[in-house]
Amino acid sequence: MTDAPALVDSHCHLDFPDFDETRDEVIARARAAGVGRMVTICTRLRQEPRVRAIAEAHEGVYYAAGTHPMSATEEPMATVEQLVALADHPKFVGIGETGLDYHYTAESAARQQESLRIHIEAARRTQLPLIIHARDADDDMARILSEEHRAGAYSCVMHCFSSGPALAEAALDLGFYLSMSGIAAFPRSTELREIFAAAPLDRILVETDSPYLAPPPHRGKRNEPAFVAHTARVGAETFGLSPAEFAAATSANFDRLFTRAA
């Protein structure tokens, strides 16, 4: 047993080869650190069976699936029907990750936008939350999310949020959630922490995005779900809360958004 506050890692990638030799140990370490639930994210739909199997094999592990925007030109275009069918599984809790990434793949912007709109429609039909990746595409992201929300409401989390205040405001105005990753714990991320501090506490989640973006004191090393506790401590400081209060708040937010994992 652990006396650590109960946390949720709302976004990780347990299927990645970084964990192939130690997956059971990684999940056990997460539980020992107080992370009782994890959502492992499939980024290419052809890998969905593998991600699903991990969720089926481990209590407290759930999954979501979609086409990552950086893979939009490499993968077949998903269909709404294909995504909706995945929602039949009881451990399938969200649509994505999807989104827009113009940092390395701006040349595929049009295809990324088409894929994003397909995922939004699937989220709308299933009433499961959309999981958004956004990088260097703030204006288009805010525009598309707003246009689609006017066409029909849906729920959403801006995963690993590290964009500017305008996109944060647009997302919050739509009723969406912002998720803190290890980036928010980096010493130089003062402006990002200010964006989170200005947001309502009841719209904040916490995640690792492991194996990427390990927070201090593990920065530069492989990230894993147990390390969400380090980001959560910084989150607690950002909101002027105790670690237990922040853990309770973000876990309640997770339950409200990811209703199937509640």
- Annotated binding residues, as ranges? 11, 13, 97, 133, 159, 209
Report yes or no: 209 and 12 within 8 Å, Cβ to Cβ.
yes
- End-to-end CA distance of the chain: give it in Å, rounded: 21
Q: Peptide bond before 211: cis, by omega within 30 degrees of 0?
A: yes
CA atoms within 13 A on the CB side of 202: 2
Residues 6+ away with beta carbon under 8 Å from 69: 98, 99, 100, 101, 105, 108, 112, 115, 116, 133
Q: How far is CA 112 from CA 77, 117, 125, 133, in A?
A: 10, 9, 20, 11
DSSP state of 58: S
- Residues near 226 by Cβ (< 8 Å), separated by ≥ 6? 26, 29, 30, 32, 33, 35
Compute φ and ψ for 100, nearest 5 degrees: -135, 135
Question: Which residues are known binding-site members for a divalent metal cation?
Answer: 11, 13, 97, 133, 159, 209
Map tokens 């849906």 to a residue: 154
Which has the closest alpha carbon to 245: 215, 237, 157? 237
Give the integer Cα–Cα distance in Å for 6 and 53.
25
